[in-house]
Amino acid sequence: MDIQFNMAAVLTKNFRLLSAFPRQCGVVSRFLSSERSQGTKEPQTIGFIGLGNMGGPMAKNLLTNGHKLLVNDVVSASVKELQNEGADVGDNPADIASKTSVIITMLPSSPNVSEVYLGKNGIIEAVQEGSLLIDSSTINPEVAKEVASKAEEKGATYLDAPVSGGVIASQNGTLSFLVGGSKTGFERAKPILECMGQNIFHCGETATGQAVKICNNLLLAISMIGTSEAMNLGQNLGLDPKLLAEVISKSTGRCWSSDLYNPCPGVLENVPSSNNYQGGFGTALMTKDLGLAQEAATGTKSATPLGSVAHQIYRIMCNRGYGHLDFSSAYKFIKEDE
Q: What are the catalytic residues?
A: 213
CB of 334 to a copy of itself, least distance (A): 5
Phi-psi map region of 45: left, alpha, beta (phi>0 left; psi -120 to 50 alpha): beta
CB of 113 to a copy of itself, least distance (A): 17
User: Facing residues of 102 across strands?
Assistant: 132
Among positions 120-159, residues that touch a copy of itself (CB under 8 A) are 141
Taking the CA atoms of residue 143, residue 144, residue 145 and residue 149 in that order, the dihedral angle to the nearest 10 degrees is: 100
CB of 153 to a copy of itself, least distance (A): 18
Among positions 26-65, residues that touch a copy of itself (CB under 8 A) are 27
Among positions 278-317, residues that touch a copy of itself (CB under 8 A) are 291, 293-298, 300-313, 315-316
Give whichever of 84 and 252 is closer to a copy of itself, judged by the CB atom: 252
Whole-angstrom distance, CA of residue 338 vs CA of residue 324: 20
Among positions 202-261, residues that touch a copy of itself (CB under 8 A) are 203-205, 207-208, 211-212, 214-220, 222-223, 225-227, 229-234, 236-240, 243-244, 246-248, 250-258, 261
CB of 97 to a copy of itself, least distance (A): 28
Contact assessment for residue 107 and residue 137, using Cβ atoms and an 8 Å cutoff: yes
Half-sphere exposure of 292 (CA within 13 A, CB side): 29
Q: How much is the CA Rg of the chain, to the nearest whole Å?
A: 20
Give whichever of 71 and 221 is closer to a copy of itself, judged by the CB atom: 221
CB of 54 to a copy of itself, least distance (A): 16
Give whichever of 126 and 284 is closer to a copy of itself, judged by the CB atom: 284
Exposed (0-12), middle (13-18) or buried (19+): which is 194, by Cβ within 10 Å?
middle
User: Facing residues of 58 across strands?
Assistant: none
Report the candidate in 75, 200, 217 with the shortest Cα–Cα distance to residue 139: 217
Verify binding: residue 195, a copy of itself, rule CB under 8 A. Answer: no
Give whichever of 85 and 240 is closer to a copy of itself, judged by the CB atom: 240
